[in-house]
Amino acid sequence: MKVKLKRFEGKGVQVKGAQISNGQGPKSEGRKVTPLPLDAEAQGVLARLAAPDVVHPDRPVRDDSERPAQPRPERPQQVRRGERRNGPVDDGHTPATQRLFYSLKVPREIAGPLAHAQQKLRGNWRSVRPDQMHVTLAYLPAVPTERVPELKALGQRLSPQFGTLDVRLRGTGYFPNEGSPRVWFVKVEAEGLDALAAALRAAVLELGLEIEDTPFKGHITLARRKGPAPRVPPMTFESSWHATGVTLQRSLLQKTGPIYEQAGSYRLREGPTATAPPEAATTDSSPSDPAPTSHPTQETP
């Protein structure tokens, strides 16, 4: 199909896809298009728009140099799926006080089988990490920071008066009772263990510091209950270890549970304790299942 184009007298005009000349020159080649000519006013507008700093005559100029810099809002911390939020818990403590306790650390070869037993837990039980397992001897819920050196000196002075301990594991139990358990633990026994705990508690009281007054019952906390959860049937362990020292631990409450940091370590004397120090008080040594040290409003070690 052919299209006949008429000639136009005058300047060239733009047609989509072709150029029509005024007959004064050769025909265009290819699809080159000649733009329409611009008058003086249009050229002036384009010149102003092309300038780097264009000021609209009807709009005031904004001087941002005098405006204070606005802080960018912080984005909430992102937590990947499967990760737990971790951080300090606002439990009423101030930087001026610390939560401390004397303890026997549970060695790796004992913590391993106990961690295997934790696999039987179901529901809202929160297991204690194997590297955090210990036997609490004396718990101090609020120690002024400036008095922590006194507790370190106490451990250094008192521990050598007691011999090393052969600690034996026994059966599991619940605190406060099996009907409404909050803590699942395993009982421990050792010759001289009660005397060591009593001496530490008496010496702390002589310093005028507060301790938890729950009667001492040797145990290792395995898990804490945080909601509805079934109980684990009783279990018995025959393992034992040779405890050669006492540690002073700092307890830091986190959203995922307490974390313990070692503040001091003190050696026990090799061999059995000959005589108990005068300050060591007698404790109840009934064979009934122990009730772990606890506090109604705090997570204890």
Q: Is the peptide bond before 176 cis (omega within 30 degrees of 0)?
A: yes
Catalytic residue list contains 116: no
Question: Is 140:151 a contact under the CB 8 Å cutoff?
Answer: yes
For residue 15, report the phi and psi dihedrals to the nearest 5 degrees: -125, 135
pTM (predicted TM-score): 0.62
Closest CA to 238 of 188, 194, 288: 188
Structure tokens at 195: 């005397």
Question: Is 212:289 a contact under the CB 8 Å cutoff?
Answer: no
Q: Name residues whose C-beta falls within 8 Å of residue 268's C-beta, 6 or more positions apart in sequence.
A: 159, 160, 162, 163, 164, 165, 243, 244, 245, 246
Catalytic residue list contains 219: yes
Question: What letter represents residue 125's amino acid?
Answer: W
Q: Active-site residue among 116, 134, 242, 295?
A: 134
pLDDT of residue 40: 74
Alpha-carbon distances, residue 158 vs 217, 246, 261 (angstroms): 20, 10, 21
* Mean pLDDT, the chain cut into blocks of 10 residues (301 residues total): 51 46 48 61 68 55 59 48 43 74 97 95 93 96 96 97 97 88 95 97 96 93 92 94 97 85 96 51 39 45 69
Closest CA to 279 of 162, 200, 215, 223: 200
Q: Active-site residue among 116, 219, 242, 295?
A: 219
What is the number of other CB atoms lying within 10 angstroms of the CB of residue 290?
21
Structure tokens at 157: 């002075």
